[in-house]
Copies of this chain bind each other. A is one copy, B any other.
């Protein structure tokens, strides 16, 4: 299957991967989330060539994940900021952080930690249901068609 077929699959996972399914996409977004916004700083952090980073930032802008703001006129220099669409990828980064912390941290333990500024504590974010606030885990959740969802919500209709 060609990568370009992803977008045509009737699945939001596949469609999202079409946009963010390359590892560098996430690393550039990670830097901007962390407040590393200027071209030179991102380049230094990722250790990639100027032309490569230029092309990647353009693709992220074309996808509507970041925009740029000029902070110096001569020579023109830009800062990169997340759009709402880009910022909404935050849970994806959280998922990668949590999994990497758990399985790939090695003997030194996780290199960084998440802090919830609202309460000031380090946090291990968990997913909860928007309806009942109960925890969302693989075993208690199904990703189904709308017809199947209606059956699950009304077991009697299913039996009948």
Contact = CB atoms under 8 A, between A and B. Distances in A.
A127 B94 contact: yes
A95 interface: yes
A151 to B, nearest CB: 9
Interface of A: 1, 3, 5-7, 10-23, 26-27, 30, 33-34, 46-48, 82, 85, 87-105, 110-132, 134, 136-146, 148-149, 152-153, 155
B142 A117 contact: yes
Contacts of A17: 23, 26-27, 96
A129 B121 contact: yes
B16 A153 contact: no
A132 B119 CA distance: 7
Contacts of A99: 12, 16, 20, 88-89, 91-92
